[in-house]
Amino acid sequence: MAAQQFSYAIDEAARTRAERMDGKLLLVTNVQDLSAAEVVARYQSLADVERGFKVLKSELEIGPVYHRLPDRIRAHAAICFMALILHRVMRSRLRASHSGLTPERALEQLRRIQHHQIRLNGAPPVSGVSSIHDGQNEVLHALRVKKTAASQQLTLL
């Protein structure tokens, strides 16, 4: 039995078209009444939404939660949306303050602030937050958040 010979041919016209597209992003849509600028704007907003999901999964550590009831699904989606909005507001305010902090570093500082409520010997409860150190003060200032009054800070904790 004779061996088959291998052969090929290059479609030069197709190759030229492909080379012209090298390094370019081609946006294709089935919506006919959009201008090119509108297609690009929608693509960019899609990329922004995808970045938002990345933030939710990684930086905000919102993992997958499985709900069956429509009200719980809506509530979970609303919480995720609010968390993302707060993250973006934080990022915007931190940039505007030129603090050099990222939302992740700011949250790392703020996580150490604790709220306490103490009741001794049946007396009315006393509540407040743990002492706020300079780093946390800087974060609160950069975020334009009012610091709790000193009388509400529990220095013994």
**Structural domain for 56, as ranges:** 34-154
Give the pLDDT confidence score for residue 49 in this predicted structure: 80
Any domain includes 20: no
Q: What confidence tens digit (pLDDT) does each residue in 20-66 have?
A: 989 888 888 999 899 999 999 988 888 888 887 787 777 767 767 88
Average the pLDDT over 104-114 and give the result: 89
Which tokens go with 157?
């904790």
Q: Are 125 and 119 spatial neighbours (Cβ–Cβ below 8 Å)?
A: yes
Phi, psi of 11 (to 5 degrees): -85, 100
Domain assignment of residue 21, yes or no: no
The two beta strands, 153-154 and 115-118, are: unpaired
Look at residue 75 and tell me if it is in a domain: yes
C-alpha 109/C-alpha 96 separation (Å) is 19
Inter-residue contact 127 to 117 (CB < 8 Å): yes
pLDDT of residue 131: 82
115-120: long-range pairs with CB below 8 Å, 24+: 116/154, 116/157, 118/154
pLDDT digits (tens, 9 = 90+) for 68-85: 899 988 898 888 888 888
**98 lies in some domain:** yes
**Percent of the chain residues past pLDDT 70, beyond the cut:** 90
Task: Please tell me the least confidently modeled range out of 32-41, 96-105, 121-130.
Answer: 121-130
Tell me the C-alpha distance between 50 and 56, whole Å. Answer: 10
pLDDT on residue 38: 93
- For residue 129, being part of any structural domain is answered with yes
Number of domains composing the chain: 1
Q: Is the pTM of this model over 0.85?
A: no
Residue 146 covered by a domain: yes
Residue 11 lies in a domain: no
Q: Is the pLDDT of residue 153 over 70?
A: no
Q: Is the pLDDT of residue 154 over 70?
A: no
Contacts of residues 77-81 at CB distance under 8 Å and 24 or more positions apart, as own/partner, are: 80/56
- 23 lies in a domain? no
